Amino acid sequence: MADVQADRRLLTSARAGLLDGGGVLPGVRGRVAASWRRSVARGVDPAAIANRYHPDLDFGSRLVRCALPVIEHLVEQLADVPVCVALTDDRARLLVRRDTAPSIGRLADGNHFAQGFGYGEETVGTNGVGTVLESGESVHIVGAEHFVERLHEYACAGAPVRDPLTGRIEGVLDISCRSDHSSPVLHSLVRSSAARIQEGLLRDRDPAQQALFDAYSRIDARGRRAVLAVGDRTVLTNVRVQTLLDPGDLIALQDHMRFVMRRTPSTDAWVDLPSGTRVRLRGTTVAAGPADAGMVGTVSVPRDDDAAAGRRPGGGPGRGSPAWRAAWTTVTGALREEPCAVLVLGEAGSGRTRMLTDADRSVHGPGQVVTLDPEQVAAAPGAVVTGLRGPGDGRLLVLRDVDRLPDGVLGPLTTALEDARLRPGLRIAATAGDDTGRGPAYDALLARFRRSASVPPLRNRSGDLPVLAAGLLAELAPHREVRLAPAALRTLARHGWPGNVTELRAALDAALRRRPVGSIEPTDLPGSCQSAPRSTLRAVDQAERDTIVAALRDAAGNRKAAATALGLARSTLYRKIRQYGITD
């Protein structure tokens, strides 16, 4: 008993020090200390429970259905100990509570630990429900380890209940009691019981999920391969896939597999991903009766020289800025649509046409691309589609710089694009400058496009410069040992690039004429690259600007929504828009 009281005094003292602004928490377990700090940062009141009731919860959900037998069994096991056994959803809201004694039930009610109430860390601080959801692991919180004083008389053991297919936390199983009845056995018991609920979830799948899971398990059991399975509502990945791909690439690959599985029973193809990684996907569609359950496949990164270490130079992949990735995702999504009509906006030389052709290759594989300049379109605007020979299948038609077309051409071109919808399999794309305020005829032309994306200028994504420059060098000097010295790369990073990627290509071409092999030094670069713009942003500012541009684009220019997404006050966002010269 003396040890218990000593521990309580130590914890109470450490918590008081934290509330007074102290940083060191001697004698406090690391997970508890981290939770306390989160509670302080969120402004949780240490003297009161400020949770609220949620009236519209699903108390008959699949999770509840699978958990009830386990909970009832727990109540029987612990009948001689006054405990509460509770189940919450993935937002810490209580769905079920069973008590072994009326006395513990009354205490729980007094602390709003009841069906429908939330017990997240953001309102109740450190506890056996909210802390599980924050950490993703089971916890045993005893006495004064709770952040809120009213809970110091209690102990709670909680464990996450995960979907066995996706690994996602569906809810939390919790056992709570008075602290003098606490035992480490409760922690073991709650973990084993959560595992039994997960087994119930596994048995409670629909046939399509079962078929997909079985196919995934068979391939994954062979070992040493990156395996993933994708259904309409299910994604399964092993550790190798998660290590191989970053989250953005993984989402893009999942979208690609959903697109492919509706069109072919199997695939063995190279896929270009937003970060620049090129992977080989070998996939097979999984059937569940008359319907398709999804696709299961293996992923590998090339190692041979022909695959260029998984990078495609110069195109959509190889760019990592948020704004570029957002544009790439929009364009690849548009190219999967039927009919397809996508408009790519941006400054001249920013890589709009290259993005379209690389994205089309990524989605549809090698195919015919027809590119028409404004002069070619103006010569016969009504024949841009009818002039193509043969069927449209597998073709991408790119109309470049439609903003440069004369007014008299816009009407016939608009009509021709409307008629193009009758050409099955023909994908229509166009590029234009960012200024779309030209007049009704131009607006009517733009209305023929179903999706649009904006390619950021090179000066706004200098973080992409190393990979982009390496890719351009590989194109300009294939099979040659040539590279940029670090000093040369720093010189390029300081330049403003008014001519965008086109100017960068020209600069590297000039440097290669001076030094055809070996390490390109700053003195090899043309004089236009040697002077930096008057105002050069720091790397952190460039990253912030890219993030703001991406948020504005995601919010369709709505500054209030963008500020909310960024976690900024609107006045702060407006100031930064002016500071960085962002136009939306």
Q: Could you report the per-residue pLDDT of 399-423, keeping only the tens digit for each?
A: 999 999 998 889 999 888 887 776 7
The token pair that represents 500 in the structure block: 């965008």
- Those residues with Cβ within 8 angstroms of residue 75's Cβ, 6 or more apart along the chain or in another chain: 85, 98, 99, 100
pLDDT of the residue at 477: 87
Residue 277 three-state SS: strand
pLDDT of the residue at 29: 84
Structure pTM?
Answer: 0.46
How far apart CA 562 and CA 468 sit, in angstroms, is 29
- CA–chain centroid gap for 167, Å, is 17
CA 427 → CA 256, 396, 455, distances in Å?
Answer: 17, 5, 19
Q: What pLDDT, in 10s, does the model give residues 154-171?
A: 999 999 999 887 778 999
The token pair that represents 571 in the structure block: 């006045």
Indicate the DSSP class of residue 167.
Answer: -
Buried b (16+ CB within 10 A) or exposed e, 172-185: bbbbbbbbeebeee
Whether residue 245 has pLDDT greater than 90? no
| Contact between 253 and 299 (Cβ < 8 Å) | yes
pLDDT of the residue at 242: 83
| 53 phi, psi to nearest 5 deg | -90, 140
Question: Could you count the other beta carbons within 10 Å of the beta carbon of residue 272?
Answer: 26
- Residue 95: name the closest of 128, 132, 64, 126 by CA: 64
Whether residue 538 has pLDDT greater than 80? no
Give percent of the chain above pLDDT 90. 30
- Residue 194: name the closest of 314, 96, 66 by CA: 66
How far apart CA 54 and CA 57 sit, in angstroms, is 7
| Mean pLDDT, residues 499-522 | 90
The token pair that represents 34 in the structure block: 């981290």
Mean pLDDT, the chain, rounded, equals 83
| Mean pLDDT, residues 513-525 | 89
- Those residues with Cβ within 8 angstroms of residue 16's Cβ, 6 or more apart along the chain or in another chain: none
Residue 298 three-state SS: strand
How far apart CA 96 and CA 60 sit, in angstroms, is 10
Query: Which one is predicted more confidently, 308 or 102?
Result: 102
- Sheet with 340-345: list strands edge to edge: 368-372, 395-399, 426-432, 340-345, 451-454
**Partners of 88 in the β-ladder:** 94, 172
**Partners of 342 in the β-ladder:** 429, 451
How far apart CA 131 and CA 535 sit, in angstroms, is 46
Query: Which one is predicted more confidently, 463 or 507?
Result: 507
Residue ranges in 337-391 assigned as alpha helix (H): 352-364, 374-379
In the block, residue with structure tokens 């589609």: 385
Domains contained in the chain, CATH given: 2-203 (3.30.450.40), 207-310 (3.30.450.20), 322-456 (3.40.50.300), 459-529 (1.10.8.60), 539-580 (1.10.10)
The token pair that represents 492 in the structure block: 């390029």
| Contact between 167 and 177 (Cβ < 8 Å) | no
The token pair that represents 441 in the structure block: 């005829």
The vertex-210 CA angle with 204 and 216, nearest 5°, equals 135
- CA–chain centroid gap for 350, Å, is 25
| Mean pLDDT, residues 258-278 | 81
